Amino acid sequence: MTDPNELDGMTLEELELQALAKEAAKTPPEVIPDAADLPDDVRDGVASEVA
């Protein structure tokens, strides 16, 4: 039996959180004071076989 509160893999609670987040997401990111000297060009490294 399908739980009526859980539809399409998303609960009503999650849907409500998503709506709340969409509002909050409009706020621009805050400036982080000690980030001024961080480099732009950090590269990923070399991975290896997954165990």
Closest distance between other proteins and the C-beta of residue 6, in Å?
Answer: 9
Residues near other proteins (CB under 8 A), total: 40
User: Whole-angstrom Cα distance, residue 25 to residue 22?
Assistant: 5
Answer whether 23's CB lies under 8 Å from 16's CB: no
- In the region spanning residues 22 to 41, those forming contacts with other proteins, defined by CB under 8 A, are 22, 24-25, 27, 29-30, 32, 35-41
Answer whether 5's CB lies under 8 Å from 12's CB: yes
Which ranges of the chain would DSSP assign to H, the alpha helix?
A: 12-24
Footprint of other proteins on this chain (CB under 8 A)? 1-2, 4-5, 7-10, 12-15, 17-22, 24-25, 27, 29-30, 32, 35-50
